[in-house]
Chains A and B, each alone.
Chain A
Amino acid sequence: MLNLLIAIPIVAAIAILLGLCAKKTALLATTLNLILTLALVFGYDQHSADLYQFTSSVLLAPGWKLAFSLGVDGLSLIMLLLTALVALAAVWVAPHPEKLERYPSLYYACLMFIIAGATGAFASLDLFFFYAFHELALIPTFLLIGIWGSGDRITAAWKITIYLAVGSFVLLVGLLALYFSIPGADRTLSIPALQALAMHGGIPQTPWIYLCLLIGFGILISLFPFHTWAPQAYASAPAPAAMLHAGVLKKFGLYGLLRVALPLMPGAAHHWTNLLLFLLAGNILYVGLVTIAQKRLDTMLGYSSVMHMGYIFLGIAAFNPLGLTGAALLMFAHGLSIAALFAIAGAVRQRTGTLEFAKLGGLAKPMPFLGFTFGLAAFAAIGLPGFANFAAELPIFFGAFSHAGSDLAFSNYQITTIIALWGVVISAVYMLRGYRAAFLGETDKRWTGLADLCACARPAILLLLAVLLVGGFRPQLFVNLVTPTIKAVLAVPAK
């Protein structure tokens, strides 16, 4: 079943390249994927003793114990669900092939390859394929930004590609060093086997290896100060590419921390907690202030997506049930909200040709639907109660704050949590300012005649928002899914 989930987008991409109707094929493939993912979510047995279910494995290189093995647990399931939802929405809002000036089929094929890469990375239980699938998405991104991007697309495409290539190779070095730090006979690339090994203390807790992983994953997540590739790339990328990248692909690094780095090296992770707290405060405070200073909607959204990574890092740094659950949930919620925001920004750019705040204004009048949904998505991103983001951020703050210091002084965790709470205010400032500048106020004469989002594309955005609301009112649905995984992560002895 998981094989099918990865194969569908790839087959669809090839079919599109061979000349099948691009939009219909892509929509069909992503819908199929969503149905399959939902079937997996409902078919997953939370009470089973096996954490990983729907497993399959094909041995490819016995010398390395390298196998193409797939399998999912609750955490991978919500990531797959996020991928399927954002994928469907991204393909839905993508411009019609006839409106694309060049290579219309390649555009959709690139999107399908990104989807396949993300799906494969979240479903892989083998370190090699876990890594390889993620990098598969790098090249389609390069093409998407380079061919169909806007603004300074050339710089942006080069920057994201080279930056992420470096990050990936640092990560690869870390993974290989981890592999070779294990005594000879136990070496394996299988993630469940490695986790079992870690349970028995079979993995040496070498701090610098964890640092390699943290920096490698950190570059992919846009951890401060390795974040500069993200805003520019998202601002230049076509809307569907930005949705998939900011919404789904960037979560791969966080997923990797939760799936590989933390459960295998909790002892080494502990060594770098203060560094991580410092960097994530940079994400929230420094990048947050930079976000306020933005003068364009797209770069503001790009920076905001970097900033929100700080909260997820805070949950990961907290390393307790509350914090990790919140982090997992926020990965999901943030993916949906940022995807909705980029979709709306893309639709606005298509109509106005610019996203500069100084030129926009009063757009809610000619485009009530876009204005209304942007408001909802912005509220979600800020973390207003009722949206999944709130339900995720709250446990993160509680989880992080519960690391009490000595009697009188705040611990580093608590100081960082207080900074992070200010981050919510910062988010509110820039999101609301952005909303006011773009959608409220006097409507410029140039914009009065603009059409609202056509009815056929509306369900894509409504779908994302609906799931956000479901997550806000019934977070338990998702919490139940990830609880066994979080328990397993925390059960590893951190000697």
Chain B
Amino acid sequence: MNFQYSLALDLTVLTLGLVLLLLEAFNDKEDKSFLGWIGIIGIATVFFLSFFVVPQEFATGQFYKADALAIFFKRLALGTTLLVLIMALEFRPILSRYLPAVGKNAGLGEFFALPVFTCLGLMWMASAVDFVMIFVSLELVTISFYILVSYMRRSGASLEAGVKYLILGALSTGFFVYGITWIFGITGETNLAKVSTALLTLSPANETAVLFGMTLLFVGLGFKIAAVPFQLWVPDVYQGAPTPITAFLSVGSKAAGFIVLIRVLEPFLNAPATAGRALLVLTALAVLTLIYGNLTAMPQLNLKRLLAYSSIAHAGYLLVALASWKTGHAPVTVSFYLAGYFLMTLLAFLVMVVVNRATGGDEIANFNGLGQRAPFLAFGMTVAMLSLAGVPFTAGFLGKFFVFADAIQTSQWLLVGVGVITVAAGFYYYLKVVRAMYWNVAKNTDPVLASGLTKATIGVLVVLIFLLGVWPQPVLQMLK
């Protein structure tokens, strides 16, 4: 019974979060960054332990899956949280600038504790296969994000981001729940496996109602994965939120959104009555998301905003993989893509945090001449950008390679055609950052310093990006 082992991962993270909260409340020290270190060590331990959990299809109750996919996404959640905590340590000085606290390091405790709870929600989402469970885990994630996004209380942008995220998040949750009620009304089930069975024998009279429910679910989940036309919140929230939280949103929240999307869509894509129209919706979303995300990213001058649009663009490529559901291995393609996306996006955010601390901004112009000021950081950023653009030998290219392969295998020529154009657009806006770092000259040529932990993390991420770019087998093996 490996059910317990898999659940044990989640429970350990829960305990870790509670311990951090208690320590924060009852410890008198002003500087609470040791909480960050405890968090990092704890999450790293759980991440390490996850490799000893043997995947298993189901466990008691059939509401909690522990298959390879679930464990893979748990690892993604853990890895993201780990890097977010590392970033949070680096981000402290900027954060305290916007806090109304008395001391220099006061009021930072929750910033290290809350991501752990978010992580728990993301891990639970990876396993949830019952609408009720999905809803609860989704809310755990969203509510902790409401706090984290508006954490910088004296920054107008952060507060604006928080309000926007709150209102649109609540709205999308409403859509999602409304969708669940329609599906429940027709099938009488909240468990996805049972919904799937019910859909196979759907009477034609109920088809419209099911499709309506499905559309509502698309709206709710489209918000989480930042698919067009549900992307309106993304740029402002990404720009306003503290950078580590932006990274968390753009990787953790998106990955969990996609695993839920896969789980929720599976019944609809396997039922003949709904499969055709579900694929049509996916294709339409993919085309819109690809075009909008890539074209709007091109004129951006702020790197955070650029990465926000890039996050929309990558959602588009992931949707292409889902629209090629007929290959039978869309979940594997999506997971592999997300693994690469996880590495390269977090690498970009990590460098961005360091540069922001040194130069005081997230504009692309802040990166001018970084090649001279900090060759290693510039190299790391270059690797991240090249991987995001899809240059061979990086994880990003192999992800796109698999996505394109799926689309071609299922003859989705519209998606292939749009994809080729948007990839070219991607080359432009990602290389804009490379251009700033190497072509342009900085006014200030002081070196940009980073902590040893950050440098080591950058090194590890770079190596992993290259390794995954030529040797996909370890990740593919995990997903078997």
Residues of A participating in the B interface, judged by any CB pair closer than 8 Å? 17, 60-63, 66, 68, 102-103, 106, 128, 131-133, 135-136, 138-139, 142-143, 146-147, 154, 158, 161-162, 165-166, 169-170, 172-173, 176-177, 179-180
Contacts and interface: CB of A to CB of B under 8 A. Distances in A.
Contact of A61 (B428, B431, B473): B473
The 4 tightest CB contacts between A and B, nearest first, are: A132-B392, A165-B427, A166-B424, A146-B439
A438 B476 CA distance: 60
Given A143-B438, A158-B428, A172-B404, A61 B472 contact: yes
Given A68-B470, A165-B427, A176-B408, A139 B371 contact: no
Nearest to B472: A61
Nearest to B382: A139
21 contacts: A60-B472, A61-B472, A62-B473, A102-B441, A103-B438, A132-B397, A136-B392, A142-B431, A143-B434, A146-B438, A146-B439, A154-B439, A158-B428, A162-B424, A165-B423, A165-B424, A165-B427, A166-B421, A166-B424, A176-B404, A177-B408
A60 B473 CA distance: 6
B471 interface: yes
Given A103-B372, A142-B431, A169-B424, 13 more contacts: A60-B473, A61-B476, A66-B472, A131-B392, A133-B392, A135-B392, A138-B391, A139-B434, A147-B438, A158-B428, A165-B424, A165-B427, A176-B405
Contacts of A180: 405, 408-409
A161 B470 contact: no
A136 B371 CA distance: 20
B416 interface: yes
Contacts of A131: 392
B393 interface: yes
A207 to B, nearest CB: 15
A162 B438 contact: no
A3 to B, nearest CB: 13
A161 B427 contact: yes
Residue among A17, A147, A154, A173 with most chain B CB within 10 A:
A173
A138 B394 CA distance: 14
Contacts, number: 77
B386 A139 contact: yes
Interface string B461-480: 00000000011110010000
Contacts of B386: 139
B435 interface: yes
B476 A63 contact: yes
A103 B416 CA distance: 39
Given A60-B472, A142-B434, A147-B439, A173 B424 contact: no
Nearest to A134: B392
Contacts of A135: 391-392
B316 to A, nearest CB: 15
B20 to A, nearest CB: 40
Interface string B425-439: 001100100110011
Size category of the binding interface on chain B:
20 to 34
B470 A103 contact: no
Interface of B: 371-372, 375, 386, 391-393, 397, 401, 404-405, 408-409, 416, 419-421, 423-424, 427-428, 431, 434-435, 438-439, 441, 470-473, 476
Contacts of A62: 473
A61 B371 CA distance: 35
The interface residues of chain B, by DSSP majority, are classed as: helix
Contacts of A139: 386, 391, 434
B472 to A, nearest CB: 5
A158 B431 CA distance: 9
Given A60-B471, A136-B392, A102 B372 contact: yes
Contacts of A169: 419-420, 423-424
Given A146-B435, A165-B424, A172 B391 contact: no
Nearest to A102: B372
A176 B438 CA distance: 34
A147 B378 CA distance: 15
A68 B470 CA distance: 9
A136 B473 CA distance: 21
A165 B427 CA distance: 7
Contacts of A166: 420-421, 423-424
Nearest to B385: A139
Contacts of B419: 169
A154 B409 CA distance: 38
A60 B470 contact: yes
Contacts of B471: 60-61
Nearest to A177: B408
A167 to B, nearest CB: 10
Contacts of B424: 162, 165-166, 169
Contacts of B409: 180
A128 B469 CA distance: 11
| Residue from A17, A139, A179 whose CB has the most chain B CB atoms within 10 Å | A139
Given A136-B392, A136-B393, A106 B371 contact: yes
A176 B423 CA distance: 16
Contacts of A154: 439
A173 B438 contact: no
A129 B401 CA distance: 12
A133 B420 CA distance: 19
B99 to A, nearest CB: 40
B168 to A, nearest CB: 34
Contacts of A142: 431, 434
A135 B400 CA distance: 14
Contact of A173 (B375, B420, B472): B420
Contacts of A17: 375
Most buried by B among A60, A143, A169, A179: A169
A68 B431 CA distance: 28
A63 B472 CA distance: 10
Nearest to B332: A63
Contacts of A102: 372, 441
Contacts of A173: 404, 408, 416, 420
Nearest to A60: B471
Contacts of A176: 404-405, 408
A138 B434 CA distance: 13
A118 B147 CA distance: 51
B463 to A, nearest CB: 13
A170 B419 CA distance: 10
A177 to B, nearest CB: 5
A142 B430 CA distance: 13
A173 B427 CA distance: 17
Contacts of B397: 132
Contacts of A61: 471-473, 476
A132 B424 CA distance: 16
A25 B420 CA distance: 39
B471 to A, nearest CB: 5
A146 B397 CA distance: 23
B133 to A, nearest CB: 32
Nearest to B435: A146
A132 B472 contact: no
Specify which of B421, B424, B441, B476 lies most central, judged by the most chain A CB atoms within 10 Å of its CB: B424
